[in-house]
């Protein structure tokens, strides 16, 4: 397998992470995630990040796609910011355990809505948990012999979407689901597709998904039985509140966004190294990765208003989660935990629960691993999972980090 194929395979694996199905599966998932993130960055990536592009010029290349290029060498580019590498003296975050539904021992927190009111995750036995202002509710079971259930995204109206797998005979049937107000609905699949995932939902109820054959697809909460193929992108996983979709052209050949009118723009790429993908969209920001020194990828963020690209080689790419302020979640290269990165590039450690808080559940707190999964739109609330061993078994504690005010 050549380097391009290997990178493509790596990205396909990391773009749609598995869920936390069982206590054992929870920790295995975390460890796989850690290994995947580490292989994308080399020691040479621990250098100060620089902004790679100034405000781009737009060049029309065909009817639906425009390319963002750097200005002509004859034009003096405007100054570009250098992201900071500094760490704040003390973490400004308070770590809290989320309450568990009665009878549930382990769970993960996987997504939070823009306001911070709703949090969703998955508990043991593939049951979905919804927290409303901190109060947990166990949702109705997803029908079928399901496993790998994942709560992907929730909006501020409480519409929750996700993906599950159902073993039917010798066929692995992967399907998307929608939950709202006590009702679980299976979303329609494109004709001929078996494996379909729901990836993101925005405030107006658009749902972005992926089908193995059809590629990027859209639903709306008002008509879950209708699925529409999304034109212009070969892959998509980021969805903005205005309907902007972030994704890729080719198999990571170019990072791109599709605006609500259907126009596709190839956003700025690393100079001399085409390639990348947009994995998240929030407000005027997008994030994902750009090509780095082979075979590495570089964590990246774009300002969709100005066209500016900012690269972060000191953080393990890609950047899957960011908020409207431009802050995002990532890992420092060679560091086994998630950090919060503020809009200026300063990182803040997200600390584990105090050992006394989890001593009853995690018999060996030193085997802890933190996985922060999502953040509110204002960047003041982060949700995730603390993993560890409990009495010879493996467990997961849903946690949230609140910014001190």
| Complete DSSP assignment for 365-401 | EEEEEEEEEEE-TTSSEEEEEEEEEETTEEEEEEEEE
Q: Which domain holds residue 176?
A: 3-91+142-336
Residue 207 lies in a domain: yes
What's residue 77's pLDDT?
A: 29
Residue 370 lies in a domain: no
Query: What does the mean pLDDT of the chain come to?
Result: 77
Residue 65, pLDDT > 90, answer: no
Residue 37 lies in a domain: yes
Residue 124 lies in a domain: no
What's residue 168's pLDDT?
A: 65
Could you report the per-residue pLDDT of 293-342, keeping only the tens digit for each? 877 899 999 999 999 999 999 888 799 999 999 999 998 766 556 889 99
CATH number at residue 186: 2.130.10
Total domain count, the chain: 1
Determine which of 282-286, 322-326, 346-350 has the lowest per-residue pLDDT on average.
346-350
Residue 15, pLDDT > 50, answer: no
| Residue 230 backbone class (left: φ over 0; alpha: ψ -120 to 50; beta: rest) | beta
Indicate the angle between helix axes 3-15 and 23-39, nearest 10 degrees: 140
Residue 322 lies in a domain: yes
What's residue 365's pLDDT?
A: 46
Residue 272, pLDDT > 90, answer: yes
> Two tokens at 348?
């803040």
> With a threshold of 0.75, does the pTM exceed it?
yes
Residue 154 lies in a domain: yes
Residue 102 lies in a domain: no
């Amino acid at each position: 397998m050549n380097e391009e194929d290997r990178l493509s395979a790596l990205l396909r694996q990391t773009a749609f992470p598995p869920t936390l199905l069982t206590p054992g599966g929870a920790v295995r998932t975390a460890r796989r995630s850690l290994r995947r993130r580490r292989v994308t960055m080399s020691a040479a990536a621990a250098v100060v990040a620089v902004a790679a592009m100034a405000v781009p010029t737009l060049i029309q290349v065909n009817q639906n796609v425009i390319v963002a290029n750097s200005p002509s060498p004859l034009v003096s580019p405007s100054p570009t910011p250098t992201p900071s590498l500094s760490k704040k003296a003390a973490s400004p975050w308070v770590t809290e355990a989320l309450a568990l539904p009665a009878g549930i021992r382990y769970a993960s927190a996987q997504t939070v809505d823009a306001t911070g009111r709703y949090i969703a995750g998955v508990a043991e036995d593939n049951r979905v948990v919804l927290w409303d202002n901190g109060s947990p509710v166990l949702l109705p079971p997803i029908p079928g012999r399901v496993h790998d259930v994942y709560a992907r995204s929730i909006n501020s109206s409480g519409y929750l979407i996700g993906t599950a797998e159902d073993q039917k005979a010798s066929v692995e049937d992967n399907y998307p689901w929608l939950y709202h107000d006590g009702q679980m609905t299976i979303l329609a699949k494109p004709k001929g597709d078996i494996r379909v995932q729901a990836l993101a939902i925005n405030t107006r109820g658009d749902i972005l998904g992926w089908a193995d054959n059809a590629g990027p697809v859209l639903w709306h909460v008002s008509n879950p039985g209708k699925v529409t193929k999304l034109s212009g992108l070969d892959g998509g996983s980021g969805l903005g509140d205005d309907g902007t979709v972030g994704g890729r052209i080719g198999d990571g050949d170019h990072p791109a966004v599709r605006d609500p009118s259907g126009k596709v723009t190839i956003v700025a790429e690393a100079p001399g190294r085409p390639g990348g993908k947009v994995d998240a969209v929030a407000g005027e920001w997008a994030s994902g990765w750009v090509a780095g020194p082979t075979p590495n990828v570089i964590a990246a963020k774009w300002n969709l208003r100005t066209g500016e690209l900012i690269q972060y080689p000191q953080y393990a790419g890609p950047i899957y989660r960011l908020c409207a302020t431009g802050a995002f979640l990532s890992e420092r290269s060679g560091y086994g935990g998630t950090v919060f990165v503020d809009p200026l590039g300063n990182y803040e450690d997200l600390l584990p629960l105090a050992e006394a808080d989890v001593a009853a559940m995690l018999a060996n707190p030193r085997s802890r691993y933190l996985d922060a999964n999502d953040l509110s739109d204002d960047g003041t609330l982060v949700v995730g999972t603390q993993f560890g061993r409990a009495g010879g078994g493996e467990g997961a504690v849903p946690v949230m980090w609140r910014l001190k005010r």
